[in-house]
């Protein structure tokens, strides 16, 4: 079982990683947590998963935006050689 000090250190590191977007470096398996600690750890796992999903969605949307931007004719392009 993780001691209170280990748990606090784990929480500090995990929250710092989440805040910094460093989701991959969170190791939830490094300690065994007691029931009270496990509630918070489970919530952090869900939060990590949600953040990872959001980042993935943002990357997908950005990729789609770039594809659309470079494959769709510009709305400001005049096709009749007249200025707007």
Q: In a 10 Å sphere around its CB, with 0-12 CB exposed, 13-18 middle and 19+ buried, how is residue 40 labelled?
A: middle
Domain boundaries, the chain: 4-71
- Listing DSSP states for 14-69 in one string gives HHHHHHHT-GGG--TTSS---HHHHHHHHHHHHHHHHHHHHHHHHHHHHHHHHHHH
What pLDDT is recorded for position 67?
72
Can you read off the two tokens belonging to residue 72?
A: 């769709």
pLDDT greater at residue 34 or residue 84:
34
Collapsing DSSP to helix, strand or coil, 79 comes out as coil
Average pLDDT of span 32-60 = 92
């Amino acid at each position: 079982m993780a001691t209170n000090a280990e748990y606090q250190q784990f929480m500090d590191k995990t929250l710092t990683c989440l805040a910094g977007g460093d989701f991959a470096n969170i190791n939830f398996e490094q300690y065994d947590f007691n029931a009270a600690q496990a509630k918070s750890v489970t919530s952090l796992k869900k939060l990590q998963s949600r953040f990872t999903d959001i980042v993935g969605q943002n990357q997908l949307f950005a990729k789609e935006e770039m594809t659309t931007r470079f494959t769709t004719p510009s709305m400001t392009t005049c096709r009749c050689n007249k200025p707007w």
